[in-house]
Structure 1
């Protein structure tokens, strides 16, 4: 996985910013950052090409980062993160402040496309990707990184996850 694990001490005189901020840029066919899924808590529009979406602690979101030049794609990346609470350790991710818990980080268009298809399949069975088991995103990351076929997320698996989460203290 990419990123560096950090813990950011807050200045005692300022209240901690509890949100995770993602800088989004859209310059058609050059730089395209977007959120594939996630429930943003705030949005700040900077100009017609830039905005900042902010996420509450423990929320899960997918950030897609694509860059091209005159010769074609230079970078394709999808990162699924869990926003952290101030004081929790986190991993840094470009364009994400302060960072988050990385559940999946995949680069290269063929693998990014596989992740986007997996998200589509989860939505197709009526499950919100923000509610999916964190372990499933890790599984998807590990299997795609190893060049193996990931298991599809099922309603039965989701139900078991929800029951375990409800039973946890």
Structure 2
């Protein structure tokens, strides 16, 4: 899929993948109203649109966490976190709001108690000295499935991470 250009302005449309093959994520931050942020992941590019919005881009294969929270006058209306692997052009993917063209969704969690639990698990992985971006995709899927079933996920350990790195090295 190539670049889609607005015929009036000649500019690239955000909803399409540019020729650079990056996955783009639109982030919005309006204090105490809309707060979308990247919890982890190596950003390849960043474009500031205005004081409340920016677009960050990820290279194919990069794993990142997108957290979204929004509220109105009556309280929280959305609390969600998605852990996503950016896909290469032509690769199968799922669509996701604010992510273009989409990605391989490894974990999706909604509701503050579940989102908070995922954030705690990410903190725990970082306390082991492991970058959450480098964690096995299978582990994120495991966490998703266990939380969906209302069960506690197994902890990610240094031994599991070493096994993942060795398996990845052998597969290359």
TM norm structure 2: 0.90
Q: Secondary structure at the match of 1:135?
A: helix
Greater relative contact order (CA < 8 Å, ≥ 6 in sequence): 1
Match of 2:106 among 98, 103, 106: 103
1:156 corresponds to 2:159: yes
Extract structure 1 runs of 4+ deviating beyond 2 A.
Answer: 14-17
Report the alpha carbon displacement of residue 16 of structure 1 after superposing the two structures with TM: 3.2
Q: What's the Cα RMSD here?
A: 1.3
Q: Report the CA distance between 1:145 and its aligned residue.
A: 0.5
Match 2:29 to one of 26, 29, 34: 26
For residue 47 of structure 1, give the secondary structure of its aligned residue in structure 2.
Answer: coil
Secondary structure, in 3 states, of the residue corresponding to 2:121? Answer: helix
Which residue, out of 50, 56, 59, partners 2:59? 56
Q: Which residue pairs with 1:47 in the alignment?
A: 50
TM-score (norm 1): 0.91
How far did residue 17 of structure 1 move? Answer: 3.7
**Out of 141, 146, 162, which is 2:144 matched to?**
141
